[in-house]
C-alpha cells in the first residue's frame, strides 16, 4: 500500500468513444490542497458520454477521496454522463453506494422566510403577553400548592425542604456575613465624612443602624441569595427538565410545583429572615468598628444610639421584606428552571435569566416598599 | 496487506481498573488486530463501559498498560496522548452531540480544529460523512430536533470526522429499533472493510455480537476479571466457562461444551 506515496494527483484524459478517464495517483487522504474539480468539469463539458477512473496508481485513501468521487458523480449526473466506477477500489464503491442509499431529504432543509417588521413587533408582544400569563399561572399554582400544604394535602416532603434549608441557610451564611460586614463599614465611612462636618459624628450610629436594618440588610442578602441559591434552583430544575425528570413527575401524577418548587419556597421563606438578622448584626458591627476606630465616639455611646435608633417597626419591616425577597428569588429561580428548553445551552440561559429577573424583582419590590412605607409613615 | 492484518493494533496488558479502592476489573490482557471488530461483552454493570473509558483515556488505569501500535498510551506524555487521541473516533451512548451546534457544526468542529482544510473542503467532507450515515439534508438541524436514532448516527458521523484508525462504540444499539440497529451493524462492517478501521464495540446485544464480532472479550461480574476471549461463535459452542455459554445463549445453559467440530 505504501508503494505510491506522495500527494494526491489526478490527470484527465479524453479517450475514444467520448470517454473521459480520470487517473488518480498518490495518497488521497484529506489534507489541504487536494486537487480540485475544475479539470474534471472542463473535461465533462466537452461532450463526454462516459466518465471512468483509473485507480491503479492510487495509494492510501480515506473519506477525502470519497468526497471527491461524490462530487464527480454529482457533476456527471447533472450532465447526464454515465459514471463508471468499476475501476475504483471496492471499498470506495461500497461507500459511494452507502452514501447514496438514503436519498437526501430535500424538505429537511428549512427555508426560513424573513418576517416583516410588523410581524416581528407583533410576535414580540404576543410572546410578552404569553410570558406574563405564564408568570401569573405559576404564581397561582404556587398559591394553590401553599393552600394544599396548609391543609396537609400537598405532595411534599419535609426531608427535601430540610436539604434546601441547609443549602440556602447555613451554607450561605459566611458570604452573607462577609458582604454585610463590608456594607456596614462602607456605610459608616460615607456617613462619617458628611456628619463630622456638622460635628454630628455620633449620628453615624443612626445612619448605619437604620440603613442596614430597614434597607441594606435585606436587599444585600436578597441579592446574594438570588445569585447563589436562585441560580442553583434554576440550574437544578432546568437540568431535571432536560433529563425529562419533570415529565416523569407529571406522568406519575405528582405535581412538580408541589414536589419541587414548594420545598424551595418554604426553605427561603424560613431562611431569609434569619439571614437578615445576621446581616443586620454584622453590618452594625462593621459600623461600630469604623466609628470607635476613626471617630471620637465611645463604644457605649455608639451602642446606646444604635439601640435607640432601631425601632421594632423597622426591624420587623426589614425581616418582612427579607421574607418577601425570598419568595421572589424562589419564584424566579424555579419558574425559569421549569421554563427551561431541552438542551445544555438552555440551562445556562435559564440560570442567567433567573438571576437577572430575581435581582430586578428585588430592587423593584424594594422601591414599592419604600413608597408604601413612607406614605403609611412606618 | 496480510502482514498488516496480523499486527496488533491494540494491546491491553495486565490492566486493573478501580474507582478509588473499589476494584472493578483486574488482570485484563488482550490484543486486537488491525481492521478487526472487537467486542467487549458482559452483563450489566460489569465494567464494559469503564474499560472503554480507560481505552480512550478518560480514566487512568490503577495498574497495567494499554498500547496502540506498540506504543504505550497510558505512559505517553500529554502531547503524544493528544496526538493518539486524534486517531480515535468515539461514539458515545447517547450520541453526546454538542447541543448548541447544528449537526454540520458538530462534525465540522474537529475538522476545523485539526485538519487544516479550507472551509469549503470541510463543508464537502461534512456532507459526505452525514450522507454515509444516512443523514443527507439534515446539516442545519440541532440535536434536539432529531430522533434518538438519528442522534446516534450523527454521533457516528462526528466520530468519523477525522477518519480515525480506531472507532470506539459504546452500546451502539441501545435505544435503537431492530432495523436501525441492524443497519448500524452493517455500517460498522462497511467501515471496517472499506476504510480499514479497527473497531471496538461495547455491547450486550447478542444479535450484534454474532453479526459483527471477529474477536470478543467476556468480562465476568462475579470474578471481576475477563473469563473468555475469542470468536463469539466458538465461545458459544466450546467455551469452558458455563457463564460465557449462558450469556451467549441467552441463559439456555448447556451443561457441557459441545464437542469441538474441528
How confident is the model at residue A90, as a pLDDT? 81
What residue ranges define each of the domains in chain B, with the CATH number in brackets?
2-87+164-248 (3.40.50.300), 97-150 (no CATH)
Query: Which residues make Cβ contacts (< 8 Å) with residue B94, sequence separation at least 6?
Result: B148, B151, B152, B155, B175
Which position has the higher pLDDT, B82 or A106?
A: B82
For helices A312-338 and A231-242, give the axis angle rounded to 10 degrees: 20
Closest CA to A26 of A52, A58, A50: A58
Residue B235 has pLDDT above 60, yes or no: yes
- The answer to whether ipTM exceeds 0.90 is no
How confident is the model at residue A304, as a pLDDT? 94
Q: What is the CATH number of domain A9-103?
A: 3.30.750.24
Confidence of residue B258 (pLDDT cuts 50, 70, 90): low
CB contact at 8 A, B215 and B39: yes
DSSP per residue, A174-189: HHHHHHHHHHHHHHHH
Grid coordinates representing B203 are 455491547
Which residues of chain B does A90 touch, with a Cβ-Cβ cutoff of 8 Å? 194
Closest CA to A278 of A183, A161, A159, A373: A183
Closest CA to A98 of A59, A135, A62, A70: A70
How confident is the model at residue A31, as a pLDDT? 78
Which residues of chain B does A31 touch, with a Cβ-Cβ cutoff of 8 Å? 115-117
Whether residue B190 and residue A98 make contact (CB cut-off 8 A), yes or no, is yes
Give residue limits of the domains in chain A.
Answer: 9-103, 137-376
How confident is the model at residue A284, as a pLDDT? 95
Whether residue A29 and residue B187 make contact (CB cut-off 8 A), yes or no, is no
Grid coordinates representing B146 are 432529531
How confident is the model at residue B190, as a pLDDT? 84
CB contact at 8 A, A344 and A242: yes
CB contact at 8 A, B87 and B165: yes
How many angstroms separate the CA atoms of A156 and A232, rounded?
20
CA angle A160, A359, A268 (to 5 degrees): 25
Whether residue A94 and residue B193 make contact (CB cut-off 8 A), yes or no, is yes
Measured between CA atoms, how close is A92 to chain B, in angstroms?
A: 6
Closest CA to B187 of B125, B224, B135, B142: B135
Which residues of chain B does A88 touch, with a Cβ-Cβ cutoff of 8 Å? none
How confident is the model at residue A93, as a pLDDT? 83
Locate the chain A residue with the closest alpha carbon to B160: A63
Residues of chain A contacting B, Cβ within 8 Å: 1, 29-32, 34, 62-64, 66-67, 70-71, 90-92, 94-95, 98-106, 108-110, 341-345
Interface test with A, best of B194, B196, B197 (most A CBs within 10 A): B194
Task: Express as a percent the part of chain B with pLDDT over 70.
Answer: 94
Confidence of residue B5 (pLDDT cuts 50, 70, 90): very low
Average pLDDT by stretches of 10, chain A with 378 residues = 65 81 83 79 80 83 84 84 83 81 68 81 93 93 92 86 94 96 94 90 92 94 96 95 87 87 94 96 95 89 93 94 96 94 87 96 96 91
Interface test with B, best of A63, A105, A340, A342 (most B CBs within 10 A): A63
Segment B182-199 shows an average pLDDT of 85
Q: In what order do the strands lie in the sheet with B63-68?
A: B71-72, B63-68, B8-19, B22-33, B225-230, B215-220, B37-42, B198-202, B166-170, B88-91
Amino acid at each position: 500500500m505504501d508503494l505510491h506515496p506522495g500527494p494526491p494527483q489526478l490527470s484527465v484524459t479524453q479517450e475514444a468513444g467520448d470517454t473521459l478517464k480520470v487517473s488518480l495517483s498518490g495518497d488521497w487522504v484529506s489534507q489541504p490542497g487536494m486537487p480540485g474539480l475544475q479539470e474534471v468539469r472542463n473535461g465533462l463539458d466537452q461532450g463526454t458520454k462516459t466518465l471512468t477512473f483509473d485507480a491503479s496508481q492510487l495509494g492510501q485513501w480515506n473519506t477525502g477521496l470519497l468526497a471527491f468521487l461524490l462530487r464527480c458523480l454529482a457533476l456527471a449526473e447533472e450532465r447526464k454522463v454515465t459514471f463508471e466506477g468499476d475501476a475504483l477500489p471496492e471499498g470506495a464503491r461500497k461507500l459511494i453506494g452507502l452514501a447514496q442509499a438514503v436519498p437526501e431529504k430535500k424538505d429537511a432543509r428549512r427555508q426560513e422566510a424573513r418576517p416583516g417588521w410588523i410581524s416581528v413587533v407583533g410576535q414580540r408582544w404576543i410572546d410578552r403577553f404569553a410570558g406574563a400569563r405564564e408568570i401569573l399561572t405559576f404564581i397561582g399554582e404556587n398559591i394553590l400548592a401553599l393552600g394544599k400544604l396548609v391543609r396537609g394535602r400537598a405532595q411534599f416532603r419535609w426531608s427535601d425542604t430540610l436539604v434546601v434549608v441547609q443549602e440556602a441557610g447555613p451554607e450561605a451564611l459566611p458570604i452573607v456575613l462577609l458582604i454585610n460586614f463590608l456594607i456596614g463599614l462602607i456605610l459608616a465611612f460615607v456617613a462619617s465624612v458628611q456628619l463630622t462636618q456638622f460635628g454630628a459624628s455620633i449620628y453615624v450610629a443612626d445612619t448605619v443602624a437604620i440603613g442596614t436594618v430597614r434597607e441594606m440588610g435585606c436587599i444585600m442578602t436578597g441579592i446574594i441569595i438570588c445569585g447563589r441559591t436562585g441560580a442553583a434552583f434554576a440550574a437544578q430544575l432546568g437540568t431535571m427538565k432536560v433529563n425529562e425528570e419533570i415529565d416523569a413527575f407529571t406522568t406519575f401524577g405528582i405535581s412538580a410545583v408541589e414536589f419541587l418548587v414548594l420545598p424551595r419556597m418554604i426553605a427561603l421563606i424560613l431562611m431569609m429572615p434569619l439571614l437578615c438578622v445576621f446581616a443586620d448584626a454584622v453590618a452594625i458591627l462593621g459600623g461600630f468598628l469604623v466609628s470607635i476606630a476613626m471617630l471620637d465616639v465611645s463604644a457605649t455611646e455608639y451602642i446606646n444610639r444604635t439601640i435607640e435608633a432601631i425601632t421594632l417597626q423597622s426591624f420587623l419591616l426589614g425581616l418582612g421584606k427579607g421574607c418577601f425577597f425570598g419568595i421572589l428569588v424562589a419564584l424566579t429561580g424555579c419558574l425559569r428552571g421549569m421554563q427551561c428548553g431541552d438542551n445544555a445551552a438552555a440551562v445556562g440561559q435559564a440560570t442567567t435569566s433567573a438571576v437577572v429577573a430575581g435581582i430586578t424583582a428585588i430592587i423593584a419590590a424594594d422601591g414599592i416598599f419604600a413608597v408604601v412605607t413612607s406614605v403609611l409613615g412606618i | 496487506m496480510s502482514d498488516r492484518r496480523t499486527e496488533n493494533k491494540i494491546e491491553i496488558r495486565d490492566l486493573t481498573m478501580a474507582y478509588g479502592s473499589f476494584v472493578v476489573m483486574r488482570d485484563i490482557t488482550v490484543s486486537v488486530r488491525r481492521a478487526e471488530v472487537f467486542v467487549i461483552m458482559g452483563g450489566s454493570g460489569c465494567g464494559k463501559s469503564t474499560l472503554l473509558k480507560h481505552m480512550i483515556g478518560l480514566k487512568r488505569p490503577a495498574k497495567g498498560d494499554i498500547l496502540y501500535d506498540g506504543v504505550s498510551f497510558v505512559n505517553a506524555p500529554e502531547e503524544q496522548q493528544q496526538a493518539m487521541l486524534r486517531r480515535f473516533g468515539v461514539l458515545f451512548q447517547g450520541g453526546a452531540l454538542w447541543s448548541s451546534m447544528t449537526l454540520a457544526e458538530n462534525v465540522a468542529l474537529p475538522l476545523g480544529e485539526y485538519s487544516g482544510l479550507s472551509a469549503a473542503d470541510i463543508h464537502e467532507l461534512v456532507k459526505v460523512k452525514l450522507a454515509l450515515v444516512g443523514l443527507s439534508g439534515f446539516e442545519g438541524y440541532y440535536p434536539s430536533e432529531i430522533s434518538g436514532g438519528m442522534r446516534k448516527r450523527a454521533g457516528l458521523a462526528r466520530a468519523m470526522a477525522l477518519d480515525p484508525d480506531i472507532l470506539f462504540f459504546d452500546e451502539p444499539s441501545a435505544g435503537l429499533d431492530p432495523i436501525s440497529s441492524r443497519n448500524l451493524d452493517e455500517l460498522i462492517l462497511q467501515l471496517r472493510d472499506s476504510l480499514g478501521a479497527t473497531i471496538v464495540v461495547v455491547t450486550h446485544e447478542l444479535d450484534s455480537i454474532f453479526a459483527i464480532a471477529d474477536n470478543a472479550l467476556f468480562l465476568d461480574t462475579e470474578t471481576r476479571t475477563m473469563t473468555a476471549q475469542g470468536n463469539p461463535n466458538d465461545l458459544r459452542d466450546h467455551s469452558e466457562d458455563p457463564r460465557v455459554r449462558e450469556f451467549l445463549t441467552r441463559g439456555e445453559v448447556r451443561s457441557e461444551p459441545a464437542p469441538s467440530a474441528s
